[in-house]
Amino acid sequence: MEKLTEKELNALVALLDDTDREVKDHVKNKIISLGNEVIPYLEKQWENSFNPDIQKEIEELVHELQFSLLKARLVEWKNSEDKDLLSGLWLINTYQYPDLEFEKLNAEMHQIYFEVWTAFKNDLQPYDQVRIINNVLFSKLRFSANTKNFHSPANSMIHNVIETKKGNPTSLCCVYLLVAQKLGLPIYGVNLPNLFVLTYATSEQTFYINGFNKGLIFSKSDINNYLEHLKITPVKEFFEPCSHEEIIKRTLRSLIVSFEKLGDVEKSEEVRALLAILEEEE
């Protein structure tokens, strides 16, 4: 990154108020070319400025820099070997809360896991193990479906979900899944139409878990009935585990709908750009 002195940076920021569009665009491109290291400086300038026009320009620049960083990180995540689920959810979270640190989120998630782990018994049958997780997550910790604000963007932000204990089907199942994986259980996500669920799947036994309905256990025939009710033809993926990448894509799709419902076209377009990164063929 090209280094500029504070004096040179001050001169650049002062030009953000220039009435000549060409000058302003040149200045913006110059600041963006400096990369993310310039963000703390811009934030300081925002605080010290009494000019609302310059403040607005700074806000847009900071957002553009942060969004570029998010896109680069998402590409990195997509190309990573394990596509860690919590890392993917954290990246989506940084779209709205760029200052959220992964370590903080990881510690919060570990605390939830610890609550379940202290009540857990490895020698129990799968149904009983799931009932213990259900009891801790939905009765003790009081995680629940956000039916009141189903389309709120907060439901797709894992940090919000952990904080408020409310989420949508995908985010509640993600909390459940992260705990179950840490416990070493064969529990995975399942992409159903209009509903995200979990499956406990081994060669001996398969059943399903509805994280949006307090961990309700159900069967393959229940899925068939559900699909029949929706007049949707059953396909293999409605019954089988999906990848972490599919879960992140689904979370981004929910976020697009949330912003569309709020009439925030700009944000829904930006989230579409994030989804496009994951949908691009190698």
Tens digit of each residue's pLDDT (9 = 90 or more) over 77-86? 999 999 999 9
SS3 state at 2: coil
Q: How many domains does the chain have?
A: 2
Asked if 240 and 190 touch (Cβ cutoff 8 Å), the reply is yes
Write out the E strands in 73-225.
144-145, 166-167, 187-192, 195-201, 206-210, 216-218
Q: Residue ranges of the chain with pLDDT lower than 50?
A: 1
Same structural domain, 11 and 118: no
Main-chain dihedrals φ then ψ at residue 276, nearest 5 degrees: -60, -35
**160: in domain:** yes
Per-residue b or e along 221-231, where b marks 16 or more CB atoms closer than 10 Å to that residue's CB: eebeebbeeee
pLDDT of amino acid 56: 83
pLDDT of amino acid 1: 46
**1: in domain:** no
SS3 state at 203: coil
Asked if 24 and 15 touch (Cβ cutoff 8 Å), the reply is yes
Domain that holds residue 21: 6-79
Residue 116 token pair? 């379940």
Same structural domain, 104 and 232: yes
Domain final residue, candidates 14, 46, 79:
79
Same structural domain, 51 and 135: no
